[in-house]
Structure 1
Amino acid sequence: MLKRELEYFFGALRFFTRLPVPRWVGHSSDALDRATRYFPAVGLIVGAIAALVFVLCSYLWPTTLAVLAAMASSLYVTGAFHEDGWSDMVDGFGGGWEKAQILTIMKDSRIGSFGAIALVILLLARFCALIEFDPLEIPFVLLAGHAVSRFAATTLLCGLDYVRDEGKAKPLATRISVGELGFAGMTAVLPLLLLSASEALLGCLLAALATLWLARMFQRRIGGYTGDCLGATQQLSEVAFYCGLLCSFS
């Protein structure tokens, strides 16, 4: 059983990152279906790498450059997988009117004006948010942001249908069970314990609102989700989480 769970975990790690996994881990659509519970755990690893890069670079450079290096490390580790989904989603929903047109645009490997502008704004928003935190807090913020945002994307598997006959998220298209979603949620909660309760609550609230807004749009416009929609949800909810942490009512 332990080997099977490790296979599920490493399958998720291989699908969402460029990190090496043991050779004995096989390729199976069914195993990847079961790996959905480990998406926030993958986020913890990506966040830990980004946090480590930030800490090391902060000894050499100002906070701004250390944050930029941390962001670059997460982009490298994931191959900008989710950022690509964000730009494709914005291109599709920004340039398409009907379902078929939206799906066709999202499948196009070329990036359009909507996607390019949205990607620049998203990365800039993430950078501007992160540099507002106390440098000592940034590693914990990165850990939580990457885990919570991947849980946010996982919730779409629970409530929406996959709308393509094939695609990069097709192996994940089965509905996640309540137990698997609960496990994913508990994993996402762990790094929140490193933050103050009020900050964590506001961060999760804004991430949830961003996720609900996107889910409603996906359901209304195309009747469900695609792999690009999952990536876009991860990206927007991550930035929303950071903005929630920074909320001040004083």
Structure 2
Amino acid sequence: MTKQSLGQQCQQQYYLLLLALSFFTRIPVRLPEVVKPEMLHQASRYFALIGVFIGAVTALILVLLASFLPLSLAVLISMACSLLLSGAFHEDGWADVWDGFGGGWTVEQKLNIMKDSRLGTYGAASLFFILMTKYQSLVLLGTHNENPVLSLSFALVLAHTLSRTVSTSLIFSMSYVSEDAQSKVKPLAQHLSIKGLTILLITGAVVLFTFLPLLHAFVMIVCLWIIRILLILWFNRQLGGFTGDCLGAAQQILEVAVYIILLVLVLPSTVFLAEVR
């Protein structure tokens, strides 16, 4: 490979990373004038890396706020900042899925409801519960650690990365719902190559084994794999495949799952007994 071709390859990967960043955050980036369809497909390989970035920024905000605010308030504000950074993109998908699955009887009805920009009762209730579960899980993680700020920082990076790794991997294993032709995420959600999946999984694995000991990492992998299987069954049962909103909902479920799994791993049994009493 010549230096020129190597430079072109690096530039292409850089553009793919920028494309993923522009799609999942509110950060303005300069993209090439013409974005080819294959670039949109290939950008999904860097979704986990975008998770690393969002988790790291959120963790940094938490560290800064916790230096002069109570931890619970720092957690709440850092959550709000992450919503601003991502444009509540995944939360929007989470709410749309619950509105569609809860309010529709046929696949067509569910898809039409999910495309509706209005927020329904199912979606509003689901947003409340998912955000409250995140908040409570993070506060509990901080409360029962010797170094709460550091442990929460690790948890944020881990959760944002792994949730995007596993949710994006659904693209490789499932069919895109063809009736969802007007979806804004259709170009990014139809295809994930083996090379893209490999890059995605390597990114998630590096973060996982960096922040967790081997046994805990194994437990996390098993739990997230089970959740992944359940998500596939759920989406196939409801729609016969997945949409972009389904990927957003999956990311939210998996992010909360990571926090809860970490709680189970780090809290001794005596703490659970004390909470029950």
Question: What TM-score results when the alignment is normalised by the length of structure 2?
Answer: 0.86
Confirm whether residue 231 of structure 1 aligns to residue 245 of structure 2: no
**CA separation in 1, counterparts of 2:155 and 2:31?**
33
Which residue type is aligned with residue 62 of structure 2?
Answer: F
Rounded Cα–Cα distance in structure 2 between residues aligned with 1:129 and 1:172: 31
Residue 162 of structure 2 is matched in structure 1 by: 148
Of residues 117-126 and 155-164 in structure 1, the stretch that sits farther from structure 2 once superposed is 155-164
- The percentage of aligned residue pairs carrying the same residue is 41
Q: Tell me if structure 1 keeps the 8 A contact 2:161–2:204.
A: yes
- How far apart, CA to CA, are the structure 1 residues paired with 2:68 and 2:59? 15
Counterpart contact for 1:89–1:232, Cα < 8 Å: yes
Structure 1 match to 2:230: 213
Task: Give me the whole-angstrom Cα distance separating, in 1, the residues matched to 2:220 and 2:77.
Answer: 23
The answer to whether 1:222 aligns with 2:236 is no
Q: How far does residue 33 in structure 1 lie from its aligned partner after superposition?
A: 0.6
Give the corresponding residue for 1:29. 37
User: TM-score, normalised on structure 1?
Assistant: 0.95
Which segment is superposed worse, 101-110 or 165-174?
165-174
| Unmatched 5+ stretches in structure 2 | 1-8, 270-277
Q: Report what 2:111 is aligned to.
A: 103
Match of residue 196 from structure 1: 213
Aligned partner of residue 241 in structure 2, secondary structure: coil
Larger radius of gyration: 2
Query: Would you say how many aligned residue pairs link Structure 1 and Structure 2?
Result: 250
Amino acid paired to 1:218 = F
Q: Letter of the 2:66 partner, please give it.
A: S
Q: Does 1:75 align with 2:89?
A: no
Q: Deviations over 1:193-240 (max 9, x none)?
A: 122333333334333333322221111221111110010000001101
Q: Distance in 1 between matches of 2:124 and 2:17?
A: 32
Cα distance between partner residues in 2 of 1:138 and 1:197 = 19
Matched, 1:60 2:68: yes
Distance between the aligned counterparts of 2:89 and 2:15, measured in 1? 21
1:147 and 1:26 mapped to 2: Cα distance? Answer: 29
Tell me how large the CA RMSD over aligned residues is. 1.6
Q: 1:188 is matched by which residue type in structure 2?
A: G
